[in-house]
């Protein structure tokens, strides 16, 4: 028997059936017409954002990194719930604009922006987070060619990382941004070239559950922004301090309390050097805003036994939820939280069960030797923590199965 991650606190049941947006999971599947189905509960997103806003300084902008989940109806809702979008491609630019986000509240980061992407972003009036001197040259040349004054920020590769983060984006040699010791020179150069300088983008890491580490990183980030701005001699219109707030996926993970982070950030902003006095500050979050709101529903096709072990085979799998299979950026496979939707909260049976996807590969394992209530063909399995990096971060064409359905719900 192996443990699984914690089921997010938001979920309840009625008559043993998991509720999503006030509806039974099975009736949502009926409405969608098939499984597998991703359900995103907008009320959970709203509550998460409300909790975060209550914890954070009033002046802080909340940006949504849409790569976490670009499902169009969710994006439309997020345009009203957040203060800006962060994008990473021309495709995401189109999605962000279609969702109704104002161009001047959109910023575009990514180490490999092609000329056609730079052109589309400059023409649309979104901010480019410059990743290198070479990219700056290309952006300035394209802006001149199209006759638009470009909105340009400088992405900084900080000399520190976010301790305990799942993904380190700073500290040492990195493909992201410009090394801190060259960032001010680049900003001065683009200002001199006549660009509309937007400030700094400093992203040290993501998916951290240690509030102390996040607080420390945010302090370092503000100090770095102030140092760089002093060197430029101008107040940066915006300091994007990155994200970093993690969510609990695995056994032993504890949800992060944003309140001490907000208090410390308020103090850090208040105490910040004068050069930042007129600056706006933004935090850029993806999974923190949406991961807990999503559930992946997949139907049990077969229950079988092999050499004394019990397997439940479902009609979904890693082609829709690669991260839950443990095959995306993790070294050791651990179990996401899962449940039998139609026996939610029921007593577990004594024998563990392994939930495997329908793909013909041993990699396709959604839960390894977990304790669950009875599982039978026809049952719906819920894989939680599916609101971020699910459908679009998985190899959906693998083995020729249909893509998962998606649905946004609210009570």
Binding to a copy of itself, residues 35-74 (CB under 8 A): 67, 70
- Encoded tokens for 120: 């589309």
Query: Residue written as tokens 């397997």?
Result: 311
Q: What sign does the dihedral 48-51-54-56 (CA atoms) show? A: negative
Cα distances from 306 to residues 75, 310, 353, in angstroms, run 44, 7, 11
CA 334 to chain CA mean position, Å? 19
Centre a 10 Å sphere on the Cβ of residue 32 and count the other Cβ atoms it contains: 17
The verdict on 307 binding a copy of itself (CB under 8 A) reads yes
Contacting a copy of itself within 247-306 (CB under 8 A): 301-304, 306
- Name the residue nearer to a copy of itself (CB basis): 262 or 286: 286
| Pairwise CA distance, residues 49 & 67, whole Å | 17
Contacting a copy of itself within 318-377 (CB under 8 A): 322, 327-329, 331, 354, 356-363, 377
| Pairwise CA distance, residues 287 & 201, whole Å | 18
Centre a 10 Å sphere on the Cβ of residue 235 and count the other Cβ atoms it contains: 15
- Name the residue nearer to a copy of itself (CB basis): 105 or 355: 355
Q: How many residues bind a copy of itself (CB under 8 A)?
A: 71
The verdict on 32 binding a copy of itself (CB under 8 A) reads no
Helix (H) or strand (E) holding 356: strand 353-356
Shortest Cβ 204–a copy of itself spacing (Å): 12
Contacting a copy of itself within 98-157 (CB under 8 A): 109-114, 131-135, 157
Cα distances from 201 to residues 79, 154, 396, in angstroms, run 21, 6, 32
Helix (H) or strand (E) holding 239: strand 238-240
Contact residue for a copy of itself among 48, 60, 90, 183 (CB under 8 A) = 90
- Name the residue nearer to a copy of itself (CB basis): 173 or 192: 173
Shortest Cβ 171–a copy of itself spacing (Å): 9
Helix (H) or strand (E) holding 47: helix 42-55
Contact residue for a copy of itself among 41, 92, 220, 379 (CB under 8 A) = 92
The verdict on 401 binding a copy of itself (CB under 8 A) reads yes
Shortest Cβ 288–a copy of itself spacing (Å): 16
Task: Using alpha carbons only, give the angle 72, 76, 81 rounded to the nearest 5 degrees.
Answer: 135
Contact residue for a copy of itself among 89, 221, 341, 342 (CB under 8 A) = 89
The verdict on 87 binding a copy of itself (CB under 8 A) reads yes
The verdict on 88 binding a copy of itself (CB under 8 A) reads yes
- Name the residue nearer to a copy of itself (CB basis): 8 or 170: 170
Show the site string, 374-393: x = touches a copy of itself by CB under 8 A, - = not. ---x-------------xxx
Contact residue for a copy of itself among 62, 97, 169, 241 (CB under 8 A) = 169
Q: Which residue(s) pair with 179 in the sheet?
A: 157
């Amino acid at each position: 028997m192996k443990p699984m991650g914690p089921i997010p606190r938001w979920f309840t049941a009625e008559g043993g059936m998991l509720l999503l947006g006030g509806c039974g999971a099975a009736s949502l599947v009926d409405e969608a017409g098939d499984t597998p189905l991703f359900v995103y509960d907008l009320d959970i997103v709203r509550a998460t954002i409300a909790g975060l806003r209550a914890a954070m300084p009033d002046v802080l902008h909340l940006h949504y990194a849409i790569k976490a989940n670009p499902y169009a109806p969710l994006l439309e809702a997020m345009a009203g719930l957040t203060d800006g979008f962060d994008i990473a491609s021309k495709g995401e630019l189109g999605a962000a604009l279609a969702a109704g986000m104002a161009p001047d509240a959109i910023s575009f980061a990514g180490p490999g922006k092609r000329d056609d992407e730079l052109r589309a972003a400059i023409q649309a009036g979104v901010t480019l987070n410059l990743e290198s001197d070479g990219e700056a040259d290309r952006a300035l040349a394209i802006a001149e060619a199209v006759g638009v004054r470009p909105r340009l920020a400088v992405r900084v590769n900080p000399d520190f990382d976010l301790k305990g983060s799942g993904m380190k984006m700073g500290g040492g040699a990195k493909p992201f941004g410009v090394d801190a010791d060259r960032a001010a020179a680049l900003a001065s150069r683009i200002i001199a070239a006549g660009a509309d300088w937007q400030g700094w983008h400093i992203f040290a890491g993501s998916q951290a559950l240690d509030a102390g580490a996040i607080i420390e990183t945010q302090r370092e980030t503000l100090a770095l922004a102030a140092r760089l701005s002093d060197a430029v001699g101008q107040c940066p219109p915006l300091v994007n301090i990155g994200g970093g707030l993690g969510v609990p996926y695995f056994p032993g993970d504890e949800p992060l309390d944003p309140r001490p982070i907000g208090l410390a950030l308020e103090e850090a902003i208040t105490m910040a050097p004068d050069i930042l006095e007129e600056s706006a500050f933004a935090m850029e979050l993806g999974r923190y805003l949406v991961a807990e709101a999503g559930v992946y529903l997949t139907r049990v096709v077969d229950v079988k036994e092999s050499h004394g072990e019990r397997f439940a085979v479902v009609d979904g799998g890693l082609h829709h939820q690669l991260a839950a299979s443990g095959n995306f950026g993790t070294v050791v496979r651990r179990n996401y939280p899962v449940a039998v939707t139609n026996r939610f909260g029921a007593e577990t049976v004594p024998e563990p069960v392994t939930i495997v996807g329908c793909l013909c590969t041993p990699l396709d394992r959604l839960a390894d030797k977990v304790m669950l209530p009875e599982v039978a063909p026809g049952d719906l399995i819920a894989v939680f923590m599916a609101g971020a990096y699910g459908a679009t971060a998985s190899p959906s064409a693998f083995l020729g199965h249909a893509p998962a359905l998606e649905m946004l719900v609210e009570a």
